[in-house]
Chains A and B, each alone.
Chain A
Amino acid sequence: MIRKTPRKGTWLAATVLASGSLFATALPAYAEAGVSAREIKLGITLPLTGAASPGYNKIGNAMNAYFKYVNDNGGVYGRKITLIQKNDEYSPQLAIAKTNELILKDKVFALVGPLGTATYTAVHKSVNLAKRGVPSLFLNTGFSGFSDKKSYPTSFMILSSYAMEAKIVAQFLKDNHAGKKLGLVYQNDEFGIDAITAFKAAGTKFDVTVPYTSGSQSAATAQTWVSQLAAGGAQVVVFFGVTSATAPLLAVSAAAKYAPQWILGSVGSDPLTLRALGVPVAVLNGAQTPAGNPSPNDTSDEYVKQFQEINTKYNDAPFDDYVLQGMNLGLMTVQALRAAGSNPTRKGLIRAMESKGSSFASVAYSPLGYSKTSNVGHTGYYMAVMDANGDRKPFGGTVKLYTTDSGSGPVVLSTFKRPAMPAKGLPSNS
């Protein structure tokens, strides 16, 4: 207690410093966050670096390229779209911090394309998107849990759910691989569990199941997966995981000369990303995969052709499934913003999604399920086969689209015809 005076001085100095910085910014006045006369600010969190980043790290740039294209052609009702990308490294904790930054600091109008099941679950709960009324469009995850409109009133899905994917794969297994020993490798979180539940419901029995923890995938862990699969004699192996897990799985299997019929989930089967991860694309040869979009190499597709042109001019990245997906998110976003009118509000955007979202043009073949009571995006898949170049062709030669829901609904062969690509890829809806 003798040396108190100087200490108190330091205490006070520290506090004043701390409080001074807190005061540094004052409350700005605004009508709607993220919208000004010239600009609409949007935000996305996704893994740009880290174990789960390969592939996904291209989505933001692809969206940005599409937005630049739209901005160069007049923007949305004269406003330019700015997309702020934040790197969450696929960690829930970082995703929360980065989303907080997007909403509190950058004051974005809406989130578009936030990526990852675990990360978005955490973000939605922690940042409290619903209570804040922040629209969160086109989640880059197929977790069917997000289709609960009551819990996620401001969120909208886009991908067909993992449950739908699993149901369609289950149907495919029944039709084409009956009687064979089945194996399953899945990511042991909502992503994989979603699929498991659907397989169970469809009555598919796997002889070997190998769960892995997100983030644990590596060459070393893949060796344990493969030895389990091989020991169980699995002839057909279904894989529900991310590309950074597909890569070691296929590499190690090839190394161990273990060659079952692979059925790779739509999430983890991008050939270019696999190649970037050092896996020869040839190992994909013959692998079967459920797909929602046309092949990114299919230039006969009007969407693919237009997106490729934009990509060449604005992005300069190899055109793959992720770039296609990013471009399409951009296209959907612009349609949603247009539908929200010339003075967009967050509430207006959500209303527009509910009332007009299902008629938006999108590259995927299946119908969109948006309505006042549903935030479900696409609703179906077709089965495709990969070749030695990593390209995919529809199984059996032509696209056979199956639609279903995430619940107990049947798997139906669909005749749905998707809306045409807007002229020059520039939406004119309202």
Chain B
Amino acid sequence: MRKKIILFILLGWLLLVIGDRVDELRVYQGAQIAMYTIALASIVLLTGYSGQVSLGNGAMMAVGGYAAALTLNNLGSPVWFAFLMAIFFSALFGALLGTAAARLSGPYLAGTTLALAVGLPAIANQFSFLGGEPGIFFDVGLPPQRLGQEFTQYKWFFWIATLIALLALFITSNILQSRFGRTWRAIRSNPLATELSGIHSSQMKILAFTISSALAGLAGAVLAMTISLVAPGAYTLTLSFALVTGAVLAGVSSLPGVVLGALILVAIPEIADALANRLGGGENVSSYLPGLIVSILLILSVIFTPNGPGENLHRHHRKKA
């Protein structure tokens, strides 16, 4: 345990040092990577560990984003409290949904969460306090003065996002290595046997849904921070699909893999853009090339290494052990 704490602190320090050395775009993307890392951890926990398929993580992120923004704007609370409220409300919502979800299996759950992903963000258009399509602002404020003039807004976002992501990963990895993590894996691989051994699998599933939602909500608040805004347009079906994609590309049951998945999600549009510029196809190419690359990667990875690129690596480790 102590080793792990040291590892995380070291990691954080390394990231902050890197943040000082790169230009603003990379810092901004670093914050996005941190955001995706949290969001993907939420999927890994739910799908990779408890075996439930959710296509509605975008909706959970929206709950978190709106909870954070409404808290900050209406209560004038400190920023950390807004993030805490994002966790609280999305967990609450996740628990409610998880109660329904625990009764559903496979495609029924996928359908329900898909419907949620489409429907929930649109609610913002109905109630004026949610700001409609333009959304509401979520302004975590300028970086503290003592950090100096050169300390940009985006670097501030990067610091906050990285700190939150590291904390979230630390806690998640501890949960996954605890009794709960083991039980989830047992339920996933053999639901009947687990039920017979006296474990209430539905309660455990609801718990997984709740924690996963809390993580997603936190990611939603971080996303809102990086764009200073919560709006339905930020939590689209495309986002939900992208998250599932990232989780699969990273290996759906590997927590460390989420960093890689997040990196891929941020890097691919960038690579595609560079490629599009080289090909010189104009707007059409740069709009659709990222999708093309992601889709091809996704299809190949499902066919060849459905459990992620780390799959073969892990197998080696296991054999040795």
Contacts and interface: CB of A to CB of B under 8 A. Distances in A.
The finding on whether chains A and B are genuine partners in a shared complex, rather than unrelated, reads yes
Interface stretch (B81-89, B187-195, B252-260): B252-260
Contacts of A189: 132-134
A94 B239 CA distance: 12
Contact of B132 (A26, A104, A128, A213): A213
Interface stretch (B11-19, B106-114, B208-216, B293-301): B11-19
B248 interface: no
A87 interface: yes
Nearest to B169: A11
Contacts of B29: 22
Given A25-B22, A121-B134, A213-B125, A11 B229 contact: no
Nearest to B321: A3
Given A10-B310, A214-B133, A15 B14 contact: yes
B7 A93 contact: no
Instruction: Report whether over half of chain B's contact residues are helix, strand or loop; otherwise say mixed.
Output: helix
A10 B134 contact: no
Given A17-B260, A48-B283, A25 B125 contact: no
Interface residues of B, number: 48
A25 B227 contact: no
B278 interface: no
A92 B7 CA distance: 38
A97 B227 CA distance: 8
Instruction: Report whether over half of chain A's contact residues are helix, strand or loop; otherwise say mixed.
Output: helix
Interface string A380-396: 00000000000000000
A253 interface: no
A92 B256 CA distance: 32
A25 B26 contact: yes
Contact of A216 (B125, B227, B233, B263): B125
Residue of B28, B153, B263 most packed against chain A (CB within 10 A): B263
A300 interface: no
Contacts of B227: 93, 96-97, 122, 126
Contacts of B75: none
A322 to B, nearest CB: 16
B256 A11 contact: yes
Contacts of A94: 233
B220 interface: no
Contacts of B4: 4
A23 B4 CA distance: 25
B287 interface: yes
A23 B18 contact: yes
A84 to B, nearest CB: 10
Nearest to B1: A1
A121 B257 CA distance: 37
A210 interface: no
A118 B134 contact: yes
Contacts of B125: 213, 215-216
Residue of A89, A93, A189, A215 most packed against chain B (CB within 10 A): A93
Interface in B106-163: 125, 132-135, 137, 139, 153
Interface in A31-55: 48-49
Contacts of B94: none
Contacts of A3: 317, 321
Contacts of B228: 96, 122, 125-126
Given A189-B132, A189-B134, A214-B132, A23 B21 contact: yes
Contacts of B15: 15, 19
Interface string A1-27: 101101110110111011101111111
B234 interface: yes
Contacts of A21: 263, 267
Contacts of A11: 7, 11, 256, 259
Contact of B229 (A8, A13, A122, A128): A122
Nearest to A85: B283
A322 B32 CA distance: 35
Interface in B249-299: 254, 256-257, 259-260, 262-263, 267, 283, 287
Nearest to A52: B133
A105 interface: yes
Interface in A309-358: none
Nearest to B310: A10
B267 A215 contact: no
B133 A128 contact: no
A305 B236 CA distance: 44
A188 interface: yes
Contact of A22 (B30, B135, B254, B262): B30
B23 A104 contact: yes
A7 B4 CA distance: 11
A71 interface: no
Nearest to A118: B134
Interface in B157-216: 177
B266 to A, nearest CB: 8
Interface string A391-426: 000000000000000000000000000000000000
B256 A14 contact: yes
Interface string A105-137: 100000000000010011001101000000000
Contact of A104 (B7, B14, B28): B28
B103 interface: no
A429 interface: no
A213 to B, nearest CB: 4
A184 to B, nearest CB: 18
A6 B25 contact: no
Interface in A181-233: 188-190, 213-216
Contact of A122 (B33, B135, B177): B135
B11 A15 contact: yes
B233 A213 contact: no
B14 A48 contact: no
9 tightest CB-CB pairs across the interface, nearest first? A91-B233, A118-B134, A104-B25, A93-B234, A126-B228, A14-B259, A6-B317, A10-B256, A213-B125
26 contacts: A4-B4, A10-B310, A11-B11, A11-B259, A15-B259, A18-B260, A19-B14, A21-B267, A22-B26, A22-B30, A23-B21, A25-B25, A26-B22, A87-B287, A89-B233, A91-B233, A96-B229, A97-B227, A101-B25, A104-B24, A125-B228, A126-B227, A126-B228, A126-B229, A128-B153, A215-B133
Given A6-B321, A14-B259, A189-B134, 7 more contacts: A10-B254, A15-B14, A19-B15, A94-B233, A122-B228, A125-B228, A213-B125
Interface of A: 1, 3-4, 6-8, 10-11, 13-15, 17-19, 21-27, 48-49, 85, 87, 89, 91-94, 96-97, 100-101, 104-105, 118, 121-122, 125-126, 128, 188-190, 213-216
